[in-house]
Structure 1
Amino acid sequence: MILSEIHVYPIKSVTGRAVDRAHVHPWGLEGDRRWAVVGPDGDNLWLGEYPRLLAVTATELPAGGLLLSARGLPDLRVPPADGPRVPVGFTGLDHAMLAAPEAHAWFTELLGVPARLVWLDDPARRSVDPAHGGLPGEVVSFAWDAPLLLITTASSRRLDEWIEQGAAERGEASAGPLSPLRFRPSVMVEGAEPFEEDTWREVRIGTVSFRVSELCDRCAVTTIDPHTYRKGKEPLRTLAAHRRWDGKTWFGIRLVPRDVGEIRVGDPVIAG
């Protein structure tokens, strides 16, 4: 097996970017989800409720900060966060640092609701939730439940086959193939058998080892087309027919780094 893709999401819930290599920290990939968009009460403005977050491209600047782009809005350079610390509603985290006021205004205009951009100054402050497989000392950025999410191309292709088969049985046009980016993976692996990852407990990518903390239960975010921002029924309808147990649907696995180091597209992947 090989590592076929790496994706980094500079701001939680916005569009990710593909990279050829990434440094692995205890809390996740370099530059991944250190920023988040929250409401006035500090609660996360969730992609499932605000699909237009997918319109945002965020690029890290060499001196820190971000360049924000979205169709219909002027580009905005956001300096490194140096605002006051404010309460936020993330499990295991009580506060984060406010970005510059112009960033709040930009996201407020984009979403049509009051919004603020915050930065997680020290991701070692946030523990991986024990309810999602976290062990003492494990930490995570603004990502949900684990530092990395892994999916395999084989499982993605099998899901597309199931979607096409189901559509044919219902006499409908197929919604697939679906972009695997709907699942917001950190890493994608080529060469596994479909859903072989369900059985993995350890994964080694290049020289970096990871612990599988849990399988990933899927939410309504996966039903949003990353290009049109419209919601549909897939893939949750098909996952519910083939991959539903314990009242949830499942696709992919969550990883916690055991080591730090660099991973690169093309690295060998060993799992078991």
Structure 2
Amino acid sequence: MTTYIVSNLYIYPIKSLGGISLQEAQVQERGLQHDRRWMLVDEKGGFLSQRKFAQMALLQVKLQPNGLLVSHKQGLLEPLLIPFEQAEGKEVSVTIWDDTCTAREVNGEVTMWFSKALGMFARLVYMPENTRRIVDPTYAFEEEVVSFADAYPFLTIGQEALNNLNTKLAKPVPMNRFRPNIVFTGGQPHDEDLWDTFTIGEVNFRAAKPCARCVLTTVDQQTGIKGEEPLRTLATYRTQNNKVLFGQNLVHEGNGKIKVGDQVQVQLWK
């Protein structure tokens, strides 16, 4: 019987900025604690993403006891501390793809810092507890809610899927190109495609749909430079209905702790 073990956990507190590797994480209603609870938006409230603005990859986030510390990977600006306390700025309407919801600007000084860092207007907003953004009803099971993530609370990818991809590339890519929350070892490439329901630690998960990949995967997370790989190679063997699939989007029920070293207990297979 195949054994799957959680090997890495990641959160991305500010959508589309550098992620944080954790040894353990608290699963909450919207996903992992702090994951994509902040987001950068333009003047009209539309979300900003590395898909269009690759320079966002150069901003790295770190967890501090009292907040988030944001720094520029090339040291162009003094690091910025964003307290965990509730955002104090004005309430704004923001848009993530087809969803519109209410957020709160952190404050004007923070917006100025990000605007300078990215060379364009960039307002940092926070998702308050009373904002309810529902997972796409087509794939939701119990009207699950989600943070500022594209559509789902979690993304899982097997290390074997990446290892297999890297055998096909002239230059291997790291897992950070794909921005997963949960990485696991064991089994065959893309075994996660076959899971239906499973448990990690104290939490039950359910596969919602495969993750369709975009040009963000072609952005080098250290340099902010966009290329053609790995999307070009992935398209040769992971295309379905004109979408390139890599990883599995998840929903969950209940709260609890998950940690590196936990075993993935698959209850039901597709």
Does the alignment reach a TM-score above 0.5? yes
Matched residue SS, 1:198:
helix
Corresponding position: 1:189 with 2:184: yes
Deviation at 1:61, TM superposition (A): 4.2
Normalized per residue, the structure richer in helix is 1
Distance 1:42 1:62 in 2: 29
Aligned length: 259
Distance 1:94 1:30 in 2: 20
Within-5 A mapping of 1:231-246: 231-246=226-241
Amino acid at match of 1:160: N
Q: Name 1:160's counterpart in structure 2.
A: 166
Q: Name 1:268's counterpart in structure 2.
A: 263
> CA 1:127/1:208 → structure 2, altered by over 3 Å: closer, same or farther?
same
- Unmatched runs of 5 consecutive residues or more in structure 2: none
* Partners of 1:22 and 1:263 within 8 A in 2: yes
* Partners of 2:57 and 2:223 within 8 A in 1: no
Aligned pair partner of 1:150 in 156, 159, 170: 156
Amino acid at match of 1:236: L
Q: Name 1:77's counterpart in structure 2.
A: 81
> CA 1:96/1:207 → structure 2, altered by over 3 Å: closer, same or farther?
same
- Unmatched runs of 5 consecutive residues or more in structure 1: 164-173
Corresponding position: 1:14 with 2:14: no
* Partners of 1:210 and 1:259 within 8 A in 2: no
Structure 1 residues 194-203 or 34-43, which shifts more? Answer: 194-203
Corresponding position: 1:37 with 2:40: yes
Deviation at 1:59, TM superposition (A): 3.0
Give the TM-score normalised by the residue count of structure 1: 0.91
Provide Cα deviations, 1:148-195, integer angstroms capped at 9, x if missing partner. Answer: 1000000110111122xxxxxxxxxx12x1111100010101002111
Matched residue SS, 2:128:
coil
Structure 1 residues 199-208 or 20-29, which shifts more? Answer: 199-208
Over aligned residue pairs, what C-alpha RMSD do you find? Answer: 1.4
Amino acid at match of 1:224: V
Provide Cα deviations, 1:87-136, integer angstroms capped at 9, x if missing partner. Answer: 101244421000111111111111111110000012761101224x1234
Q: Name 2:68's counterpart in structure 1.
A: 66
* Partners of 2:209 and 2:248 within 8 A in 1: yes
Aligned sequence identity (%):
38
Corresponding position: 1:128 with 2:135: yes
Provide Cα deviations, 1:196-217, integer angstroms capped at 9, x if missing partner. Answer: 1111111211221101110000
Following TM superposition, where does structure 1 have runs of at least 4 consecutive aligned residues deviating by more than 4 angstroms?
none
Corresponding position: 1:138 with 2:144: yes
Q: Name 1:257's counterpart in structure 2.
A: 252
